[in-house]
Amino acid sequence: MAIFVDENTKVVYQGLTGSQGSFYGLRNRDYGTQVVAGVNPKKAGTDVDGIPVYATVAEAKEATGATVSCVFIPAPGVKAAVLEAAEAGMDLVVVITEGVPAQDEAYFFNKVKRDFPGTRILGPNCPGIISPGKANIGITAGEIALPGGPVGIVSRSGTLTYQALYELKLQGIGVTTCVGIGGDPVPGTSFIDCLEAFEADPDTKAVMLIGEIGGSAEEEAAEFIKTKMTKPVSAYIAGVTAPPGKKMGHAGAIVSGGKGTAAAKMEALTDAGVKVGNNPTEAGELMVEIVKGL
Amino acid sequence: MDLLEYQGKQFFAQYGIPVSPGEAVTTVEDAVAAAERIGYPVVVKAQVHVGGRGKAGGVKLAANVDEVREHAGNIIGLDIKGHVVKTIWIEFASDIAEEYYASFTLDRSAKKHLGMLSAQGGVEIETVAEEDPDAIAKIWIDPVDGLTEAAAREWVLAAKLNPDATDGAVDILLKLYTAYTEGDADLCEINPLILKPTGEVHALDAKVTLDGNAQYRHEGWEEYEATQVRDDREQAAYDKGLQYVGLEGSVGVIANGAGLAMSTVDIVNQVGGKPANFLDIGGGANAEVMAGALEVINNDPDVKSIFINIFGGITKGDEVANGIVTALGRVKIDAPIVIRIDGTNAEEGRAILAEHESDMLQSKPTMLEAARTAVELAK
């Protein structure tokens, strides 16, 4: 099993006709993902390499039965795209786009939560989600992940996620699902949402968590792990030596007022029984030990 | 993007928030002329992107033209925690009866907007939060609903301001919320928010951080961009559109992805080195971007070695390697380079680099080994 998406998931791509959307949409289809439709009101009736394009998400859903949407719309249009997907009744909206204004994110997160509680948002500014061997929705290179299990991965960083997938593959360890939640201030899906799903997934036996400085999401995850999780967890936090007050690339990655430091996050996770590595390789090695002991 | 105080006040004024009349100037003569126009007494205030101006002598009251001349002369060029004052703000001095604190920011845990209001203003809010947390009245606002007048009034009453300030505070807070949301700010803070003896409520300071991602829908933000403080290295990187943060060390760092770049800075520290910078070249590491990144690092005189850390995902290792080789043909690099390429097509990438290996360019299979080598070379 996998969490959130699998081989039966039908996906519609908002922005499939754009350069990014068509590149990754077709790549995801090559991987085996059921890419059933694209959306572009100006190009309805056309197709992208055989994938039909509809005017709206609702029409795409009606015609294809898609339940997941993947958003490759430029930042100014993301708010409207997410709300359209939620209104059309998508179960999951994966937002790859980076550079979305924080006020837009705060608005559509709360709007969707209240008016469309059946819709989960993943991202924005995330690499997407991959259930290796089953479905790959987003920009992760599918070939760096080994299908199967027993490990689930949840990460706030793109390249470090790839690093984690690859290190586990080199060790011969498979992954059930790898979720990139993204580094923005208002992520639609949190660490806790993923940990909860992994805890409930019978095929996931252990979880790897990759966090970074800023905010308190890792501390909240630690509390959840401590009180609600039975499965073992390994973790890595990037930004141990980041200077306070300087944004390190991600909008969320900043240490301010002494809050959000890597040290505090690592301590909270260690206290929750998580095996915390000092670098991505070490976190991978810790996971190898965990898997051997399962 | 942090605004200077005077920019923050101009930003507030656009949303109808009462601020003192004033002028931003860069010379003593202009300061005098501004003060003559505004009328005395005036306050002469250093405009820097750092707190603690008052203690550093960057805020002075002037009762007449001689005092303006004296204070402006002292403050222009003053070094406040490494920030040299270029611009000063001359504003009419307000009579103050009471000082309050007000702000809006995003509560990332609650995923709602957080308003904070306190009758204890003029001091650092962190200090109030620690010593007397009950003195801060908080309100969480759902962005879909916004801030209603009734909620604002209840919030003001909870903060126990002087009853004379209630109506003025409600009015300012509603406008401040509009400035924060419609103005695409990450932070809007007024400290102090003052009650004048005459009963008006007024923003005496302005601390505003704007969300750079929203620049496309606002006119005039280029002006704020122009006053951002960057060192030469940061400016060069900014001009090339690279995500760069200057640090103090000797190992230049180039990586793809913010997380990996942060992780690379960490690992250099862990093996006993000091990174010179954080530099994220983003997803597609083509020759153009790599050449630009190498130029920025090369122009940093403190850099003694360069660590390029690439994880190929969608970007293939061989393409990255070709990019590096092309970049090296374009830019003459003074410091030795250590490269680690892993992930998709890493072996092909390493094979390409092997043909170009020398004392000045070597490839290592893991992040840790590459970090150790780069740190050793920087010694």
Q: Reduced to 3 states, what is the DSSP secondary structure of residue B142?
A: coil
Quick check: B266 and A240 CB within 8 A?
yes
Quick check: A160 and B313 CB within 8 A?
no
The list of chain B residues with pLDDT below 70 reads 283-285, 314
CB-side exposure of A210: number of CA atoms within 13 Å? Answer: 33
**CATH number belonging to the domain at B232-378, selected among 3.40.630.90, 3.40.50.261, 3.90.950.20, 3.40.50.150:** 3.40.50.261
Tell me the pLDDT of chain A averaged across its residues.
Answer: 94
Structure token digits, residue B106: 């995003």
**Predicted pLDDT at A251:** 58
> Quick one: DSSP state of residue B275?
B
Mean pLDDT for A152-169 is 91
Burial of B263 (0-12, 13-18, 19+ CB in 10 A): buried
The answer to whether residues B45 and B34 touch, using CB atoms and an 8 Å cutoff, is no
Burial of B353 (0-12, 13-18, 19+ CB in 10 A): buried
The answer to whether residues A119 and A149 touch, using CB atoms and an 8 Å cutoff, is no
Quick check: B343 and A101 CB within 8 A?
no
**CB < 8 Å to B111, chain A:** 106, 109-110, 186
**CB < 8 Å to A103, chain B:** 143, 181, 184, 211, 214
The answer to whether residues A168 and A223 touch, using CB atoms and an 8 Å cutoff, is no
**Top-level CATH class of B98-225?**
alpha beta
The answer to whether residues A13 and A138 touch, using CB atoms and an 8 Å cutoff, is no
**Predicted pLDDT at B257:** 86
Structure token digits, residue B348: 């092909």
* Residue B243 phi, psi dihedral angles, 5° rounding: -80, 105
Q: Reduced to 3 states, what is the DSSP secondary structure of residue B100?
A: strand
Q: What domains can be seen in chain A, in order of their start residue?
A: 10-122 (3.40.50.720), 141-292 (3.40.50.261)
Considering the entire predicted model, what is its pTM? 0.93
Q: Reduced to 3 states, what is the DSSP secondary structure of residue B146?
A: coil
Q: Which residue has the tokens 């015609």?
A: A63
Q: How far apart are CA A133 and CA B136, in angstroms?
A: 52
Confidence label for A258 from pLDDT (cuts 50, 70 and 90): low
Residue A255 pLDDT greater than 80, yes or no: no
For chain B, the structural domain boundaries read: 21-92, 98-225, 232-378
Nearest residue of B to residue A221, measured between CA atoms? B109
Q: How far apart are CA B119 and CA B128, in angstroms?
A: 10
What's the gap between Cα B72 and its chain centre? 26
For residue B119, which of B67, B148, B150, B155 has the smallest C-alpha distance?
A: B155
Q: What is the ipTM of this complex?
A: 0.93
Mean pLDDT for A18-26 is 94
**Predicted pLDDT at A254:** 64
Q: Establish whether B101 is a catalytic residue.
A: yes
**Predicted pLDDT at B285:** 60
Residue A71 pLDDT greater than 80, yes or no: yes
Nearest-Cα distance to chain B for A45, in Å, is: 30
Nearest-Cα distance to chain B for A66, in Å, is: 25
Element (H, E) at B189: strand B185-195
For helices A78-87 and A57-64, the axis angle rounded to 10 degrees is 40
Relative to beta strand B87-92, strand B42-47 is antiparallel
Q: How many CB pairs under 8 A join A and B?
A: 169
Nearest residue of A to residue B183, measured between CA atoms? A103
Of B113, B256, B262, the CB nearest to A238: B262
Of B184, B343, B344, the CB nearest to A101: B184
Selected residues 42-101 of chain A with any CB under 8 Å from a CB in chain B? 75-76, 99-101
Q: Report which residue type is found at B154.
A: E
**Predicted pLDDT at A257:** 60
Instruction: Give the model confidence (pLDDT) of A121-157 as tens digits.
Output: 999 999 999 999 999 999 998 988 999 989 999 999 8
Quick check: B283 and A139 CB within 8 A?
yes
User: Residue B297, Cβ neighbours under 10 Å: how many?
Assistant: 28
**Predicted pLDDT at A256:** 63
**Predicted pLDDT at B81:** 87
The residue length of chain A stands at 294
DSSP one-letter string for B1-56: -BPPHHHHHHHHHHTT--B--EEEESSHHHHHHHHHHH-SSEEEEEE-SSS-TTTT
For residue A128, which of A93, A175, A86, A174 has the smallest C-alpha distance?
A: A93
Structure token digits, residue B327: 């970049």
**Predicted pLDDT at A82:** 98
Show the 3-state SS of chain A.
Answer: CCCCCCCCCEEEEECCCCHHHHHHHHHHHHHCCEEEEEECCCCCCCEECCEEEECCHHHHHHHHCCCEEEECCCHHHHHHHHHHHHHCCCCEEEECCCCCCHHHHHHHHHHHHHHCCCCEEECCCCCEEEECCCEEEECCCHHHCCCCCEEEEEECCHHHHHHHHHHHHHCCCEEEEEEECCCCCCCCCCHHHHHHHHHHCCCCCEEEEEEECCCCHHHHHHHHHHHHCCCCEEEEEECCCCCCCCCCCCCCCCCECCECCHHHHHHHHHHCCCEEECCHHHHHHHHHHHHHCC
Instruction: Give the model confidence (pLDDT) of A188-211 as tens digits.
Output: 999 999 999 999 999 999 999 999
CATH 3.30.360.10 describes domain B21-92: no
Q: How far apart are CA B111 and CA A203, in angstroms?
A: 31
Quick check: A141 and B312 CB within 8 A?
yes
Check if A240 contacts B (Cβ < 8 Å). yes
- Catalytic pick among B6, B101, B177, B180: B101
